[in-house]
Structures are given as structure tokens and as C-alpha cells.
Homo-oligomer: A and B are copies of this chain.
Amino acid sequence: MLDTSCIRAAMALSLLLFASVAAAARPAPAASEPTDEQTAAQLRDEALAGENLAWDWVSELTTRFGPRPAGSDNEHRAAEWAAERLKALGFANVHIESFPITAWVRGVESAQIVAPVPQPLVVAALGESPPTPPTGLEGEVVIFPTLADLKAAPAGSLDGKIAFVAARMVRMQDGAGYGAAVEARVDGPAEAAKRGAIAFVLRSVGTDSNRIAHTGTTAYVDGRVPVPAFALAAPDADQIERLAALGGKVRIHLYSSASYVPDAHSQNVIADVPGRVHPEQVVLLGAHLDSWDQGTGAVDDGTGTAIVTAAAKLILDLPQRGPRRTVRVVLFGSEEVAQPVAPFGAFGGHAYADSHKAELAHHVLAAESDFGTDRVYSLELPAAVVKSEFATTAMRVLQPIGVLAAAEPARQSGTDVRPTNEAGVPPFALLQDGTHYFDVHHTADDTLDKVDREQLDQNVAAWAALVWLAADSDVDFRGQEAPH
């Protein structure tokens, strides 16, 4: 609560400071029609005042449908609800695009220390990881401080044992600690199996210290995850390390009845604010409707779907003329789950890029909101426009709400839009403060109470203003990189 108060106080202060500077620098409004910059500021201020649908959207989505794992009935229901809601809100071209997946379904799972003294452990099976035998698995734990240490173990050295990578994720504002830590989750099971291990466990890839484990996908090798794999809650990882330090072998028992549904499907939900002049030119705003299966997917990624939908709705409802280009909301499915054909994530993203391949040449930008609900603090633009008048205008609108220009151009935006970006559509990124994101990411604790409404509104403000500026322009975001 303290943290939130601090951020609110800082935001209020920066608003005061910057608002006065911005007011002095801004050109006088035209008598007849508002300028693009004025419309962007108007959208921003509407959003910031709470006059947007983000809170109601994320509240209703997460309350009605709870967890929405890829391929589940609840994911399908949420997509149908979203499509109905988008139609009712007045969006055009609202439809659902289905695609096949193999769904992974968590079963019953449990873990215990069995020696030296029995104790329960809190674990979560990693996504896509196979079940244990019906009586579970038991083995001695071999502790590796990092994935590199596991990789250095000789073949056969883990025969009949359980490999445990104990590395701690580093808390960082930009989330870079995740990239450094997640490799152990992705590659650990296969590396352990190669050396004879019967199972793999790791300290949760997360920054909290609660008895709640963080799930997430692992890599397929030859079409499967080779051994049952689990994340331990941070205090449980501590406990095993301390127990080993007291001397003697630590043995644990693991059980999971996870299963696969090979003929499942997921879907993307699409909705447009049609362009007034160039309807074929698309500014794509993405987020994902699916979630992990233990929380209700509030910050991952209910708020993302709420932010981009609310931003597009503000543009749709402008009393003045609409944007020159089309603003397209895509609520992706099956973002969280790796598939054999896509070793790590982005399945809804692939489906979109494949089925819209012919149109991508006219997509002018594609970006995603998928990093929780904390405030946007930095804007990354495509290299071509970093030094442009577009960037200058954008920063005049965004700086008053605490967003600074990033030092680097945008290289990526989110998992779902990556295939579209890789097809040549430039990304932008409204970078969010990720200091607390990994406290609840991929856990049962990802629930609505973790969403700060004021910060949610600031996100909508940033998206609405920036997307308006891009969609009402004729800027070529693919152009050559601007000279330095």
C-alpha cells in the first residue's frame, strides 16, 4: 500500500511540474477544429479522469470467467463475451478467429519433503510438463545454484535423482531479471533429463516470498517435455537449501496428474475503429485474453485487454472526426502456452500473422500491452521516427503523465505481436514499471485486488493519446532510420 501511495504522490507531483511546462510550450488552440495534439491531450485527460472502461472491463472479465487457460471452456466463454461486448460498444468488424491447439490441463499435484523429516511443499507443475506416474516420483534432491551448474554436471550423474535449480530472480524495474532467470524454467527439464534426472524442480521465477509457486512453460524437446517439472514457492526453495545446509540428504516426493487435450482450440478476437481515409492501414493494439490457470489473469493479461480496448473505445467515441487509419484491437488466445510447433509461446500471435499475411504490408504499427498494470514510464518508438516531429509531439503529450522518451528505439513490444513485427510491421512500446509485476506473475495470486485503478487509467491515457497520433497521421513508421 505504501508503494502505491509513493507512486501516486510522485505521479501527482510530476503532473503538476510537467503540466505547467507543457501549458507554456503548447500552441494556442485553433478556433475551429482541434489539432492532432489537442485531440491526443483530450483523450489523455479523459482517460486519466477515469472516464474509460478499463476497470469495469478487467473486473467483469476476471470475475465472470476466472482463470482462462488456453483451450479451456472459460477461455472460449471469455472470447465470446469479449466479442459481444465489443459489438455492443460500437466497434466494427468484430469477429472471432479460431485456431487448433493441444491444450495442457493441470491435474492434482502435490509435493513433500520425505527425509530427513516429512514436510509439505508448495509447488506448481510447469506448463506442458508431463504427469508423474500415478504413485508419484521420489528421489534425492541435487541442488544447482544456477542452470549453468546443472549444465556442467556429467551425463549419468543425476540417475534416479531430482535436479533443483535454486537461482533467484533479480527485481528490476524494466523486468530484465525475468529474462535472466527464465532460461532455467525453459531449458531446465531437458538438461536435467539428459543427465539421468527423474524430475526437475526450480525456485519459482518470481520476486515475492509467498507460499505461492509461479508456473510457466518449458521447452519441448523432440515433441515433449522430457520429465515432470515443477516450480517451488520461494520459501519452499529456501527450506530445501537450509535443510541441505544442516547436513544429510534431502529426499522429496512429487505428484502431478497433468494431461493433454490434443483436439482443443483457441481464438483471437478482433475489433476495429475503421480508418476515415485509409481504412486498409492498420495500427494494431494487442493483448491476450487467455491466462494461466491458477489466478484469474488480472495483471496477466486482463489489464492489457482492458487498456487497449479502453484506449480504442475513447478514439471510437471522439466527438470530432475519427482517425485517418484503422485502429485494430486484437485480443489474442493461447499466449501463455508453448506448443510443439512453436517452442515458446505466441500461438495466437502466429495464427494472426498467418491468417492476415496479405494485409500485413498495410499494417503500420503493432504493439502489445502485456506487462501488468503499473504505470507507463517510457516510450520506445520505431527507429525511423525517433528523431521526428511525430516523436516530439508524442512526448509533449506523454511527458505530463510521467512518460519519458526511451534511449533506444523499439525492437519488440509483446509476445503476441512478435510474429507480426517479424513480418515487417514496426513495434512501439509503452514500457511499464515492472518492479512488482513478478510478485504475482503466473501465480494463483494474479487477481483483481492487485490492480491499481489510478495506474490503470494512466496506461489507458498513454495508449489512447499515442495511438490517436499514429492513427491520424500519414507517418511511415517503416522508413529508414533517422540520421543521428
Contact = CB atoms under 8 A, between A and B. Distances in A.
Contact of A3 (B2, B113, B239, B448): B2
A113 B119 CA distance: 29
A113 B242 CA distance: 38
A208 to B, nearest CB: 9
Contacts of A445: 210-211, 235
Contacts of A296: 119, 239
A447 B64 contact: no
Nearest to A212: B211
| Identical chains in the assembly | 2
Nearest to A171: B1
A206 interface: no
A211 B443 contact: yes
Nearest to A66: B119
Given A239-B66, A243-B63, A77 B211 contact: no
Interface in A191-218: 209-212
A113 B66 contact: yes
A448 B67 contact: no
A449 B209 contact: yes
Interface centre among A65, A116, A210 (most CB of B within 10 A): A210
Contact of A119 (B67, B118, B209): B67
A447 B239 contact: yes
A207 to B, nearest CB: 10
A41 B242 CA distance: 34
Contact of A117 (B74, B238, B242): B74
Interface in A235-265: 235, 238-239, 242-243, 246
Given A447-B211, A449-B209, A120 B66 contact: yes
A84 to B, nearest CB: 15
10 contacts: A2-B2, A59-B242, A63-B239, A64-B243, A74-B117, A210-B210, A210-B445, A211-B294, A211-B444, A234-B449
Interface of A: 2-3, 59-60, 63-67, 73-74, 77, 113, 116-120, 122, 209-212, 234-235, 238-239, 242-243, 246, 294-296, 443-445, 447-450
